[in-house]
């Protein structure tokens, strides 16, 4: 084989190898950035949403406790609904 062609072939193979290594590195950096963004969104948005829902649940439960017991006992459907749902 001609030395010039062999050298060109080796340069091509090395260039392609470098290109694929750079591609993998860039893809890995993108994956890490995306995963970090997801974790950050979860920590900021989802945790705050859960806290707000917990507060709303306690407020609702407190309002349900304001229903007088005689009213609860006199209306069977209301009693069934409250027993059916765990608040």
**Which residue has better confidence, 40 or 65?**
40
In the numeric block, which tokens belong to residue 82?
A: 């409250």
The string of pLDDT tens digits covering residues 27-42 is: 999 999 999 999 998 8
HSE-up (13 A, CA, CB side) for residue 46 = 7
**What mean pLDDT do residues 66-75 have?**
80
* Least confident piece of the model among 22-26, 44-48, 69-73: 69-73
What is the predicted pLDDT for the residue at 32?
97
Domain residue ranges of the chain, discontinuous segments joined by +: 3-84
Give Cβ neighbours of residue 61 (< 8 Å, ≥ 6 apart).
87
């Amino acid at each position: 084989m001609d030395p010039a062609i062999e050298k060109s072939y080796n340069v091509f193979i090395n260039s392609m190898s470098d290109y694929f290594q750079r591609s993998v590195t860039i893809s890995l950096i993108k994956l890490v950035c995306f995963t970090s963004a997801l974790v950050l969104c979860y920590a900021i948005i989802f945790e705050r949403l859960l806290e707000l829902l917990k507060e709303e649940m306690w407020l609702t439960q407190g309002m349900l406790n304001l229903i007088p017991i005689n009213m609860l006992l006199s209306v069977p459907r209301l009693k069934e609904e409250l027993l059916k749902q765990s608040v």
